Structure 1
C-alpha cells in the first residue's frame, strides 16, 4: 500500500538517528484515512484493505525494506535548554514523492519506545491524535503551511496520562522533520560536521535555490530564508486566531511548517493574551507573544549554525544579528498583507495597519469572537448587512464607528460591494475546529467508541469557507457551559 520510499534521513551518519522498529500493538483498527493525501503520495487504493491498512499504520506490519528511524534533536522547552530530546514516540518510515515531485516524510507518531523516550512509553492517547488530525487538516484547508495527517489507528490498549485513555497511532506527513532543535543537538556537542550535513539537507529539502551559493555563504543565507518562512508562517497563525501552545525550539520546523499540535487551539473571544496550554502557566506562548517567541527561536537557530559562518566569530555574530533583526519587519509585512485581505482590501495605504489594529482593539473591548467577526464583516460592506456583525460585540457603538472608517477606506478600492464580499468570504473562514467541538469529538471517540462526530467535524473544518446552513452548528462559538479553557499535551 505504501508508495516507494527513499531513506535520505536514515542514511545519514548513525549518530544523527537511531534505527528502531515499532512496538507491536494488540488490536489495531483504522479510524481515519486521508484518501486525497494518500493518492497524492502515490498510494494504491484500488484494492484497499482496511485490516491491512490498520496493521500498516499502527506499525505492526511494515515492509521489510523500510528503515524506521528516530531522529536525534535537542530543544529549549519554555526557555530551558534540554540537550537531548529526540523522537521519543515517533518513527520516520521514509520519504515519498508526491505528484508534484516533492519529497514528503511519512512518520508514525505513538509507535512505541525509542532510545530517546527518556523513560516514557512511546505511545499516544487517542485524544491528542484526533486533535492533531483535525487541526492539521483544518490548517491545510485554511492555507497555513502545516504537517498533514495521513491516517489514525487505535491500538486496542490503554495509555496512561491524566487517566487511562485508548491508545492510538497517527501517521504524519511533513516536508521534513528538521527542527531548530535538530541543529541545537549537534551544536551543543561541537559537531560541526553534522551541522554541515544538516545545512546541506535543509537546502536540498527546502531551499534548493541556495545550492548555487558558495558553501561558506550558505549558512547565513539559510538563516535568512528560514527567518522569512517563519515570519510568514506566524503571520498566518495570527490571521486565523491560532495558538500553538508549545513553541519550543524542537517544535520550530526549518521548512516553515506548523508542526506538533499538542495543546493547540483557536481563539473564540479575541484576547491577545489568550493561553490554552495547561503547562504554560506564565503565558510564554500566549497568542500575542507568538511573533516574539518565533524570533527568539530563530536566534537559537543562528547560534547553532554560527560555527559554520566563518572564522571571524565577531563578524559572524554581527551579520547574524543584523539578519535576525529583520524578522519584525518581515512579520509585520506578512501580517498586514493578511489583514488587508481579511478586510477586503486589494490596494495598500499607509493607514491600513492602524485600521486593522483598531479593529482588533474594538474586538478585544467588545469581547467579540475572532472568527465570526471577520466572517460577518463581509456582510457589513453595506450598513444594511451589519446586523449579524454588530450582534457579536458587547459594545456595538465602537464597532459601528469603526465600520464607518472601513467603508470609507473601501471607497478607494474601486470595487463593487459584491466583489468585496466575495473576496472576503474566500479568505475569512466560517468554520474552524473550535476547542469545545474538538473536545466533544474526543469524548465521543474515547468514551463511547463513536467516531461519527469526528467525521462530521473533519468534513466541516476541511471546507472552512463553506457558510451553508449544514455547517451552522460548527460555526457557533461555545455557550458559557461549553467553554474549554485548557488543553493538554499527549506526552
Structure 2
C-alpha cells in the first residue's frame, strides 16, 4: 500500500549544503527479518499503511521514501567525548534517511538509522549494530516515553543476518538495523565542528536553520538578539532533559557533546541503565571508570556540554548574554526536576516553595532508606490519597520509618491531578513496570539462546499499559 494521506515529507536538512553531510550508500544485508515496528508512531507520520514487505524495503533496504532524500546523508559533527575533544566524529554507522512532519503537532522529525553501514566517519568500524543493541534501544525509548521523558522513538528494528564480532559481548553476535524518530539530529557537536573550522558563516547558517525549523518563535528577533535567544531556548530544553533523567531514575551513560541535541530530546542509547535506588554514584557504562556520567552527575555533565555550545556562539551573543544563559541553567534544571517529579507522582503543584520541599523530602527519603526508586514513585502516585495502596506495597516497611515522616508531612495538602488516573488497572498491580538490568538481560537471553521473543513483546505490552495509565501519550 502507498503511504497515507498524513505523510508529509521534507528535505530541509539538505538545504544546509554539502559541507554539513556526506551522501552515502546503505549496506546490503543478507537477510531481513522484521522484529519490531511502532505502528502508533508510524500512524503519526503517515507510514502506518505500509505492509511488512514495503516496510522492509524502506527501513531494511533503504529504498527512498516518496519525495524524500534520493540518498541518505551521513551528518558531520565533532564533540567532546568524556571531556576530550574529538574532531574525527560524524555519523559512523548511521545516517539521516528522511525527514517528515508529525501530523498531530507539525513538528519536524528525522528518520535516522543505527547500524546501516559504513560511512566516511566509520573510523575502521564495521558500521553495524548488534541485535542486542537494537533490542536495548527499543526498551529504553519505550520505557522513557512511558515515564514522560522527551525521547527519540524507536520506529523499526530489522534483524539483518550477519555475525558481528564485539569485544564487550559474546561473539559472534547477531546484527540488526534500527530506525529512530528524533526531533533533530543537530547536536552541540554540530556547532563545535564549525567553530573548530572557524567557519563563522556556516555557524550563522546553521543557527538560522535551527531557529527557523525548531525555534520559530524567536525568528522575528533582531540579528543581535537571535543567537542569545537561541542559547536560552536550548538551555531551557537541556535543563528539562537533565531533570527528566533524575525523575525517571535513568542513567544515559554517555553524555558526550555529540549526544546532546539542540531540542533537548534524549537519544542514542548505548550502555544505559535505570538505577534501582537513589544512588548518585550509580553508573551505566563499565568504561566510565571515573563516574563522570554517574546518576547524580548527569545535570552537571549536561551543563558542561551546554557551556561548549555557548563558546561556539560567543561571536554572535557576546560574553554577557552567553554567561547569563549558562548561569540560568542550574535553577532551571532544579525547577524542572520539581515539576517532573510532581508529574510522575500525579500531583497538582502547590507553588515553587512547597513543590521544592516535597521533592527535597522525597529524595532525602530515597537516599536514607535506599527504597526501590520506581516502586516508591508508583506507590505514592496520587500522594496521600494512595496511602492505603502504599501500605500493601512490597516496600511498605520503608514507609513506616522515621525517614519517611518528612515526606508524609510534605504531601499534606497536595491533591491528585486530573490525569493521575488512580483507577486505572495498572495501579492495582503490586509492583510497577520496571526496566532494571537483570530484566533486560533475561529478555535478551531468551532471544539469544532460544530465539524466543515472548518476554520482549510481553514487556512492551506492560510498558504500553504503563504509558496509558500515566497518560504519557
Structure 1 residue 135 displacement after superposition: 1.3
Question: 1:119 is matched with which residue: 111, 120, 124?
Answer: 124
- After superposition, the Cα gap between the structure-2 partners of 1:148 and 1:350, relative to the gap in structure 1 and judged at 3 Å, is same
Contact 1:378 / 1:420 at 8 angstroms: preserved in 2? Answer: no
- After superposition, the Cα gap between the structure-2 partners of 1:384 and 1:27, relative to the gap in structure 1 and judged at 3 Å, is closer
Look up the match of 2:270: 262
Give the TM-score of the pair, scaled to structure 1. Answer: 0.86
Counterparts of 1:467 and 1:442 in 2: how far apart (Å)? 26
Structure 1 residue 54 displacement after superposition: 2.2
Look up the match of 1:327: 329
Contact 1:59 / 1:108 at 8 angstroms: preserved in 2? Answer: no
Contact 1:302 / 1:320 at 8 angstroms: preserved in 2? Answer: yes
Residue deviations 1:112-155 (CA, integer Å, cap 9, x gap): 00001111111000111111112112222222111111110000
- After superposition, the Cα gap between the structure-2 partners of 1:347 and 1:112, relative to the gap in structure 1 and judged at 3 Å, is same
1:307-386 equivalent positions in 2, closer than 5 A: 307-309=315-317, 316-343=318-345, 344-348=347-351, 350-378=353-381, 381=384, 384-386=388-390
Look up the match of 1:7: 11
- After superposition, the Cα gap between the structure-2 partners of 1:175 and 1:421, relative to the gap in structure 1 and judged at 3 Å, is closer
Residue deviations 1:70-109 (CA, integer Å, cap 9, x gap): 0000010111110120100111112112213322111221
- After superposition, the Cα gap between the structure-2 partners of 1:188 and 1:231, relative to the gap in structure 1 and judged at 3 Å, is same
Look up the match of 1:471: none
Look up the match of 2:148: 143
- Structure 2: any 5+ residue segments left out of the alignment? none
Contact 1:378 / 1:425 at 8 angstroms: preserved in 2? Answer: no
Question: 2:57 is matched with which residue: 55, 64, 76?
Answer: 55
Contact 2:382 / 2:417 at 8 angstroms: preserved in 1? Answer: no
Contact 1:181 / 1:249 at 8 angstroms: preserved in 2? Answer: yes
Residue deviations 1:199-245 (CA, integer Å, cap 9, x gap): 11211221001110122321111000000111112212211111111
Structure 1 residue 384 displacement after superposition: 4.6
Find the residue that maps to 1:462 and give its secondary structure: helix
Structure 1 residue 449 displacement after superposition: 2.1
Structure 1 residue 371 displacement after superposition: 0.5
Look up the match of 2:32: 28
Contact 1:156 / 1:167 at 8 angstroms: preserved in 2? Answer: yes
1:81-120 equivalent positions in 2, closer than 5 A: 81-100=85-104, 101-120=106-125
1:288-307 equivalent positions in 2, closer than 5 A: 288-307=296-315
Q: May I ask how many residue pairs the two structures share in their alignment?
A: 455
Contact 2:348 / 2:417 at 8 angstroms: preserved in 1? Answer: no
Counterparts of 2:388 and 2:20 in 1: how far apart (Å)? 62
- After superposition, the Cα gap between the structure-2 partners of 1:426 and 1:174, relative to the gap in structure 1 and judged at 3 Å, is farther
In the alignment, is residue 16 of structure 1 matched against residue 20 of structure 2?
Answer: yes
- Structure 1: any 5+ residue segments left out of the alignment? 310-315, 469-491
Contact 2:372 / 2:395 at 8 angstroms: preserved in 1? Answer: no
Structure 1 residue 111 displacement after superposition: 0.4
Structure 1 residue 270 displacement after superposition: 2.1
After TM superposition, where is structure 1 displaced by more than 6 Å over at least 4 residues in a row?
A: 417-421, 423-429
Residue deviations 1:273-330 (CA, integer Å, cap 9, x gap): 2112112111111111111111101000001122233xxxxxx123211220010111
Residue deviations 1:387-436 (CA, integer Å, cap 9, x gap): 24573556942344335423xx42x34x5x89897569899993233322
Contact 1:362 / 1:399 at 8 angstroms: preserved in 2? Answer: yes
Counterparts of 1:225 and 1:161 in 2: how far apart (Å)? 39
- After superposition, the Cα gap between the structure-2 partners of 1:370 and 1:424, relative to the gap in structure 1 and judged at 3 Å, is farther
Find the residue that maps to 2:160 and give its secondary structure: strand
Structure 1 residue 349 displacement after superposition: 6.0
Contact 1:26 / 1:156 at 8 angstroms: preserved in 2? Answer: yes
Contact 1:76 / 1:249 at 8 angstroms: preserved in 2? Answer: yes
- After superposition, the Cα gap between the structure-2 partners of 1:431 and 1:5, relative to the gap in structure 1 and judged at 3 Å, is same
Structure 1 residue 380 displacement after superposition: 7.1
Structure 1 residue 466 displacement after superposition: 6.6
Counterparts of 1:44 and 1:466 in 2: how far apart (Å)? 20
Find the residue that maps to 1:336 and give its secondary structure: helix
Look up the match of 2:245: 237
Give the TM-score of the pair, scaled to structure 2. Answer: 0.89
Counterparts of 1:153 and 1:404 in 2: how far apart (Å)? 48
Counterparts of 2:308 and 2:425 in 1: how far apart (Å)? 37
Contact 2:131 / 2:176 at 8 angstroms: preserved in 1? Answer: yes
Counterparts of 2:424 and 2:333 in 1: how far apart (Å)? 24
